[in-house]
A and B are shown apart, each in its own frame.
Chain A
Amino acid sequence: MNRLTPYAFVAPFFILFAVFGLFPLLFSLWLSFHQWEPSEGLAALRWVGLENYAMGLTDPWFIQGLGNTVWLALAAGLPQHLVALPMAFFIHRRVHQGRDLLVGAYFVPYITSSVAIALIFMTLYSKDYGLINVALAELTRLPLVGAWLPLDAAHLPDWLGDSAWTKPAVAFVVFWRYLGWNLVLYLTAMQTLDDEIFQAARLDGAPPWRQFWSIALPQLRPMIFFAVTLTLIGSLQLFEEPFILVDTEKGVARSVMTAAIFMYQTAFNDGDFGTASALSWALFALIAALAWLNARLFGKGGGHA
């Protein structure tokens, strides 16, 4: 065998990564220390040191964007796990017939295009005629439920048009999209659990919630850590759902403008590629730091649950 042949097999990956991955990354790091007017070519680059970082990170819009990102990450991320975990436990223990069908249904949103999702939710969220508000209006007319609902049929939420409601509306779409994904991760992990311990617990008369809380949860810790880390990383770079759902031309879009959206607009609307590059590296550093912190607190060798 020619000594170089194996390198020829793996070369395409590294060539593509060098040209379209590594080089652009290094260039953007370098650019983040420069001010640049793109129309004047590379000669117009001017070294500004950390000025882009200082400017970008103290920009009130960026700070608001970070706040929105964290809000959406918590509101969309936590429920994903709080629902997916017990659901996976129940499906694993009790659902045998039709399990693929059930799990398959919950997974559909994950393989669906974000644009198609956003478009249908825009109609469902519509203030006067959207199915969601029509259903809510019906609910308020029911005797008992209606009195309990804090809503008035005449003033239903303008989900995507009123900044008081845009965040929960966007968070729900993100939750809806990734619930099935987490369900699949947790089911995969549960298949590796030892069944005998559950049978022993049942013989001892431990109720299902007890089996879930005291046996399944501790054993699933590595997977919970892993799945939460994925959600953390994914939701801090949230871009597509809010970007498509709420027209960025409208003022209300600012209420769901995430850090990644602000970065995009700094580059492609304002043409300030230097500051945008600085922001993207700052966001990357933040995500890396949080992932590291998460690993220290909850990962292997961390505190005991």
Chain B
Amino acid sequence: MRSRPPVATWAVLALGALLVLAPIWFTFVFATHQRNSIFNVPPPLGFGDAAGLNFELLLAALPFWRNLAISLYVATLTTVLNLVLCSAAGYAFALLQFRGRDKLFTVVLGTMMVPSFLNMIPSFMVMQWLGWLDQPRALYVPAGCGALGVFLMRQAALQAVPRELLAAARMDGAGEWRTFWSVVLPLLRPALGTLALITFIASWNNFMAPLVVMRSVENYTLPLALRAMQSPNNTEWGALMLGSALALLPLLIVYLFSARKLVAGIAAGAVK
């Protein structure tokens, strides 16, 4: 006997997916309601008309544009640095011959084992000595060349760059930098796209690093600023949800168009 058509299980899976997405849905719904309508029985399930009002409250409570700009600035610079530096290192590890190459690559992989909490206290002190506390560079410089990026770029270079092409470029007298820039980088483009997505999202969402080094509200990244907006008694929840929704929106849009690539890239990085 063939097994029953699994309609019931399918329904459970789809219902589960809706439940998983529900908190995100309610972030957007609550962003359009005032506080007293969010905390009502029953709470609102659909959109309201207070988005404009919430936006005014948000701008009054936070230097929102500045926080947004800092998040964007840090995430963009982190991404650009990673694209350039990780692809150069990944290319060298994949396709150039030099003494100590494999040992050095093992070191790169080993650095991925260091948990972030171990670095939290001493990196705060390093930033203090450098005079970088409360400055965006304290966020994008240390994150400028991640081990995961080097690993992903090495894999991509091994797969996507034919060795004959490199040999031909060298025969034509192209130097190493030129070969890298005009021959290798274009071939790495799909992998660079994945790396850009992963890096940007990680930086945009990062909470622990800015929590430790950013001191004043004007220099907070968006997640820190939103957290700072809560107060014990009269948090404007509608405005807070609107800020949250605005922080989520760019990610969700990017995700909508690149989910398959992104999920595959993240899984590949983890599985190694």
Contacts and interface: CB of A to CB of B under 8 A. Distances in A.
A105 B193 CA distance: 21
Given A103-B263, A105-B21, A226-B271, A123 B30 contact: yes
25 contacts: A9-B88, A9-B176, A10-B93, A13-B108, A14-B107, A17-B111, A20-B119, A20-B126, A23-B122, A27-B125, A28-B119, A28-B121, A104-B259, A107-B263, A108-B252, A109-B24, A110-B266, A113-B223, A116-B244, A123-B26, A180-B20, A185-B271, A207-B3, A273-B125, A277-B121
B40 interface: yes
Contacts of B118: 25, 28, 280-281, 283-284
Q: Is the interface of B mostly helix, strand, loop or mixed?
A: helix
Contacts of B260: 100, 104
**Chain B interface size range:** 35 or more
A228 interface: no
A47 interface: no
A108 B249 CA distance: 12
Interface stretch (A87-95, A144-152, A293-301): A87-95
B263 A113 contact: no
A268 to B, nearest CB: 7
Q: Which of A6, A104, A276 has the most CB of B within 10 A?
A: A6
B69 interface: no
Contact of A111 (B13, B17, B201, B232): B201
Interface stretch (A71-79, A126-134, A163-171): A126-134
Interface of B: 3, 6, 9-10, 13-14, 16-18, 20-21, 23-24, 26-27, 30, 38-43, 85-86, 88-89, 91-93, 96-98, 101, 104, 107-108, 111, 114-126, 141-142, 144-145, 147, 150, 170, 176-177, 180, 201, 204-205, 207-208, 212, 222-224, 226-227, 230, 232, 237, 240-241, 244, 247-248, 251-252, 255, 259-260, 262-263, 266-267, 270-271
Q: Is the interface of A mostly helix, strand, loop or mixed?
A: helix
A123 B263 contact: no
Contacts of A16: 85, 141-142, 144-145
A162 to B, nearest CB: 17
A223 to B, nearest CB: 8
Contacts, number: 245
| Leading 8 A-B pairs by shortest Cβ distance | A24-B122, A9-B92, A20-B142, A129-B39, A28-B122, A115-B223, A6-B98, A105-B17
Contacts of A179: 20
Contacts of B244: 115-116, 119-120
Given A28-B118, A111-B262, A233-B115, A90 B20 contact: no
B30 A120 contact: yes
A68 to B, nearest CB: 15
A102 B14 contact: yes
A184 interface: yes
B89 A13 contact: yes
A264 B209 CA distance: 12
Contact of A239 (B20, B117, B176): B117
B20 A1 contact: no
A48 to B, nearest CB: 17
B119 A24 contact: yes
A116 B226 contact: yes
Nearest to B6: A94
Given A10-B89, A24-B126, A176-B20, 4 more contacts: A20-B141, A94-B10, A119-B226, A120-B23
